[in-house]
């Protein structure tokens, strides 16, 4: 804090005054090093688990604040804690390893909120762990805790059995919108896109938010349990804004960490009241160090950057470089847009031009920083801004164009935006924002009755999954897309009730064929390299039935050649969103003997039938996937 005139550190026995044993243990003056500008003091003694704040006097006022660089805090994050990180490690932590993919596109990403994952009684998770980090550590969980032999696995076991290999956790850093002192309240919940302490786990998901050690240990146990099951863990990070400007950043160095507009007011590119200045040296450095910390201390395997368009390209690329020093397989992707008008400075701290990390600047971003492909999302199920919009799977012919570009992860030609390579695109149909896929299908076709299964909606859902998983790019979905999860039409459920947000694990019985269809799609994807190649090496191996720029149709069909000797050599994918079966003749007729591996009912590695010639009969609202018979027989 170079502008501060005085800084003191205040030591406390507890993380808040409301706890027993609360006491002030002392206050010490820090001294400023005139050459580095750094304030410091040495306090002798065993200070492990002691809580502390800083008293920063700047511009004539003294603010009490937690440490910007907190690694542990007390309840609600108001006081920092001196932590011995090694002592927080759970048993076996030394042998816990990252779960990383050689190609980011090998990930099947399942985006979930910690509370939604287990809060329902159907989860089979013990009552103590429902809604907590530790829910992810439970094995042997069954629907409704029914232990009979025929019952179905839930929670972490379900992920393994259904072929999901990557969990993206919605905010798990310490956020401000949930009061950690209140337990058992249905209204005290939030997605958590409101950071308070970036390097501390959220307390409300721990079994004891008062003891700064507990949340750290339990967070590590969660990661360890997922890694033990071969599941990669991506963390949602929100460096673009903070809960409020009454923050440790503002109290420590006023008006440094936030962008101010020309009128001297906090700029609001996040739509949440402020935006952080990644172009400034000490915030850029902060963000880079924070990402490294989560990777090294918590073994996090990747990051999802909220409103990445507020951040600058140079900062994002420097994060990529820093993570590459640890392991270049650590994944990065983000939302290459803002939540409102962002006030951009002309230059960054190193004198270079400020370039926002938005879609139109993809060419300046590393090709290993993924960008959410909202154009394919909207093409699949209809524009996300209205739940009544229809896309390709509901029969919108105009959406075929977006599907065609999405096949190449928007890396082959410019449709709304252009990725440098397939690795730079996240292919998806839904996420936590806007309507869940199932809800948009309901609202746009059968007027708002969310209560029951509809055959056509299941077919549309299957086709959405087939489009995502036979496209290049990183396959991503909201948790439960594969079991027709509903939020009852709620398109912004950030603080809605558990009844709306919970994963209802009964759906895996109700929609058993859907879950197994998705599993089959992941297997097909995993066994066909062109879908997961990082670069554009396979783009010339595709033959589309219609030219991408002029497609207006209920059918999108393509063949793709593979040069991997131990895989299928040719694959045909035909999506038919018409309400009746259609004959589709492939443009590429070089293969004339086919084995069908996906149809309107099932998908996977098994033979479902054979076709001679290059004309396929594709059932109503379905995808047919076929591979050349010669290589199928050879590999079978």
What positions carry a catalytic annotation? 306, 335
Per DSSP (E only), the strands in 129-194 are: 166-169, 173-175
Q: What share of the chain is helix, strand, coil (3-state, %, to 5)?
A: 30, 20, 50
194 binds Ca ion (CB under 5 A): no
Cα distances (angstroms) measured from residue 65 to each of 7, 10, 70, 74, 407: 11, 10, 11, 13, 50
Answer whether 260's CB lies under 8 Å from 196's CB. no
Stretch of residues binding Ca ion (CB under 5 A), selected from 10-18, 199-207, 289-297, 604-612: 199-207
- Looking up tokens 């998770």, which residue turns up? 125
Please, what is the end-to-end C-alpha distance for the chain in angstroms? 66
Cα distances (angstroms) measured from residue 476 to each of 106, 164, 508: 11, 10, 19
Q: Which is nearer to Ca ion, 106 or 202 (CB)?
A: 202
- Min dist CB 468 to Ca ion, Å, is 33
Beta bridge partners of 561: 570
Answer whether 1's CB lies under 8 Å from 31's CB. no
- Please choose, from the candidates 55, 97, 46, the residue with its C-alpha nearest in 3D space to the C-alpha of residue 79: 55
| Cα–Cα dist 202/197, whole Å | 9
Name residues contacting Ca ion, limited to 510-529 (CB under 5 A).
none
Burial of 59 (0-12, 13-18, 19+ CB in 10 A): exposed
User: What 3 state SS string does 73-126 have?
Assistant: ECHHHCCEECCCHHHHCCCCHHHCCCCCCCCHHHCEEEEECHHHHHCCHHHCCC
Q: Which two tokens stand for residue 419?
A: 């990725």
Cα distances (angstroms) measured from residue 538 to each of 10, 410, 591: 61, 14, 18
Cα within 13 Å of Cα(196), Cβ side? 25
- Min dist CB 169 to Ca ion, Å, is 15
Q: Which is nearer to Ca ion, 63 or 73 (CB)?
A: 73
Torsional sign, CA 108, 113, 119, 120: negative
Name residues contacting Ca ion, limited to 456-475 (CB under 5 A).
none
- Min dist CB 213 to Ca ion, Å, is 16
Q: Which is nearer to Ca ion, 200 or 407 (CB)?
A: 200
174 binds Ca ion (CB under 5 A): yes
Stretch of residues binding Ca ion (CB under 5 A), selected from 194-202, 396-404, 487-495, 593-601: 194-202
Stretch of residues binding Ca ion (CB under 5 A), selected from 128-136, 141-149, 169-177, 562-570: 169-177
- Min dist CB 241 to Ca ion, Å, is 16
Q: Which is nearer to Ca ion, 192 or 402 (CB)?
A: 192
Q: Which is nearer to Ca ion, 174 or 218 (CB)?
A: 174
- Min dist CB 403 to Ca ion, Å, is 41
Burial of 86 (0-12, 13-18, 19+ CB in 10 A): exposed
Stretch of residues binding Ca ion (CB under 5 A), selected from 168-176, 290-298, 349-357, 516-524: 168-176
Q: Which is nearer to Ca ion, 215 or 227 (CB)?
A: 215
Q: Which is nearer to Ca ion, 106 or 174 (CB)?
A: 174
Site string for Ca ion, 121-160 (x = CB under 5 A): ----------------------------------------
- Please choose, from the candidates 130, 129, 122, 127, the residue with its C-alpha nearest in 3D space to the C-alpha of residue 146: 122
Q: Which is nearer to Ca ion, 171 or 422 (CB)?
A: 171
Name residues contacting Ca ion, limited to 558-617 (CB under 5 A).
none
User: Count of residues binding Ca ion (CB under 5 A)?
Assistant: 3
| Rg from Cα positions in the chain | 26
Angle at which helix 455-469 crosses helix 374-381, to 10 degrees, equals: 150
Q: Which is nearer to Ca ion, 178 or 603 (CB)?
A: 178
| Cα–Cα dist 514/520, whole Å | 10
- Min dist CB 115 to Ca ion, Å, is 13
Stretch of residues binding Ca ion (CB under 5 A), selected from 36-44, 203-211, 309-317, 465-473: 203-211
Q: Which is nearer to Ca ion, 7 or 170 (CB)?
A: 170
* Nearest residue (beta carbon) to Ca ion: 174
Write out the DSSP string of 17-73: TTSTT--EEEEEE-EE-TTT--EE----S--TT-EEEEEEEETTEEEEE--TT-S-B
Stretch of residues binding Ca ion (CB under 5 A), selected from 23-31, 139-147, 167-175, 281-289: 167-175
| Cα–Cα dist 162/486, whole Å | 19
| Cα–Cα dist 432/156, whole Å | 20
- Report the SS3 class of residue 347: strand
Q: Which is nearer to Ca ion, 74 or 203 (CB)?
A: 203
Q: Which two tokens stand for residue 570?
A: 């040719």
Beta bridge partners of 595: 610, 627
482 binds Ca ion (CB under 5 A): no
- Min dist CB 70 to Ca ion, Å, is 12
Q: Would you mind telling me the total number of residues written for the chain in this entry?
A: 636
Q: Which is nearer to Ca ion, 27 or 187 (CB)?
A: 187
- Min dist CB 313 to Ca ion, Å, is 31
- Min dist CB 202 to Ca ion, Å, is 5
- Min dist CB 116 to Ca ion, Å, is 17
Stretch of residues binding Ca ion (CB under 5 A), selected from 196-204, 273-281, 416-424, 504-512: 196-204
- Min dist CB 243 to Ca ion, Å, is 9
Stretch of residues binding Ca ion (CB under 5 A), selected from 195-203, 240-248, 274-282, 550-558: 195-203
- Looking up tokens 């002798």, which residue turns up? 44
Kindly list the residues in this chain that would bind Ca ion in the complex (CB under 5 A): 174, 202-203
């Amino acid at each position: 804090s170079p502008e501060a005139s005085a800084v003191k550190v205040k030591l406390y026995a507890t993380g808040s005054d409301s706890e027993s044993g609360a006491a002030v243990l002392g206050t010490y003056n820090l001294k400023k090093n005139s050459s580095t500008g750094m304030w410091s003091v040495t306090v002798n003694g065993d200070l492990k688990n002691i809580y502390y704040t800083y008293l920063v006097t700047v511009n004539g006022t003294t603010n009490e604040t937690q440490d910007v660089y907190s690694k542990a805090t007390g309840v609600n994050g108001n006081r920092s804690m001196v932590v011995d990180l090694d002592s927080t490690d759970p048993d076996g932590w030394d042998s816990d390893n990252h779960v990383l993919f050689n190609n980011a596109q090998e990930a099947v990403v399942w985006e979930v909120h910690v509370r939604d994952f287990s809060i329902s009684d159907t989860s089979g998770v013990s009552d103590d762990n429902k809604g907590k980090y530790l829910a992810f550590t439970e094995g042997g969980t069954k629907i409704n805790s029914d232990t009979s032999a025929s019952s179905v696995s839930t929670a972490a076991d379900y992920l393994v059995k259904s072929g999901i290999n990557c969990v993206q956790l919605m905010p798990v850093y310490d956020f401000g919108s949930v009061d950690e002192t209140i337990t058992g309240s249905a209204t005290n919940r939030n997605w958590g896109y409101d950071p308070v302490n970036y390097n501390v786990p959220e307390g409300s998901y721990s079994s004891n938010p008062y003891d700064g050690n507990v949340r750290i240990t339990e967070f590590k146990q969660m990661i360890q349990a997922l890694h033990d099951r071969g599941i990669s863990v991506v963390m949602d990070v929100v460096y673009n804004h903070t809960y409020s400007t009454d923050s440790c950043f503002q109290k420590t160095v006023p008006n440094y960490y936030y962008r101010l507009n020309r009128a001297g007011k906090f700029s609001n590119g996040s739509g949440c009241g402020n935006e952080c200045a990644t172009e400034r040296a000490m915030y850029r450095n902060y963000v880079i160090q924070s990402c490294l910390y989560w990777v090294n201390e918590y073994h996090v395997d990747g990051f999802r950057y909220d409103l990445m368009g507020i951040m600058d390209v140079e900062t994002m690329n420097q994060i990529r470089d820093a993570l590459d020093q640890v392991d270049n397989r650590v994944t990065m992707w983000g939302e290459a847009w803002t939540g409102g008008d962002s006030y951009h400075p002309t230059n960054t701290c190193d004198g270079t031009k400020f370039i926002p990390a938005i879609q139109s600047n993809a060419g300046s971003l590393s090709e290993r920083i993924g960008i959410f492909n909202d154009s394919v999302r909207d093409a699949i199920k209809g524009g996300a801004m209205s739940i009544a919009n229809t896309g390709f799977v509901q029969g919108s012919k105009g959406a075929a164009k977006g599907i065609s570009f999405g096949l190449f992860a928007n890396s082959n030609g410019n449709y709304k935006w252009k990725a440098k390579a397939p690795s730079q695109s996240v292919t998806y149909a839904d996420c936590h924002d806007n309507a869940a896929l199932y809800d948009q299908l309901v609202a746009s076709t059968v007027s708002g009755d969310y209560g029951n299964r509809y055959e056509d909606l299941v077919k549309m859902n299957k086709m959405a999954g087939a489009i995502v998983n036979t496209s290049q790019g990183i396959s991503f979905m909201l948790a439960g897309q594969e079991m027709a999860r509903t939020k009852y039409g709620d398109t912004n459920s950030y603080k809605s009730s558990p009844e709306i947000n919970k994963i209802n694990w009964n759906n895996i019985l109700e929609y058993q064929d859907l879950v197994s269809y998705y599993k089959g799609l992941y297997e097909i994807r995993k066994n066909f390299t062109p879908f997961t190649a990082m670069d554009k090496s396979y783009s010339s191996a595709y033959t589309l039935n219609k030219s991408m720029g002029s497609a207006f149709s209920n059918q999108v069909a393509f063949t793709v050649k593979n040069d991997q000797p131990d895989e299928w050599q040719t694959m045909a994918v035909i999506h038919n969103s018409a309400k009746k079966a259609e004959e589709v003749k492939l443009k590429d007729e070089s293969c004339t003997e086919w084995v069908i591996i996906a149809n309107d009912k099932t998908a996977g590695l098994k033979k479902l039938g054979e076709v001679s010639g290059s004309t396929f009969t594709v059932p109503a609202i379905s995808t047919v996937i076929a591979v050349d018979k010669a290589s199928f027989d050879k590999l079978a």
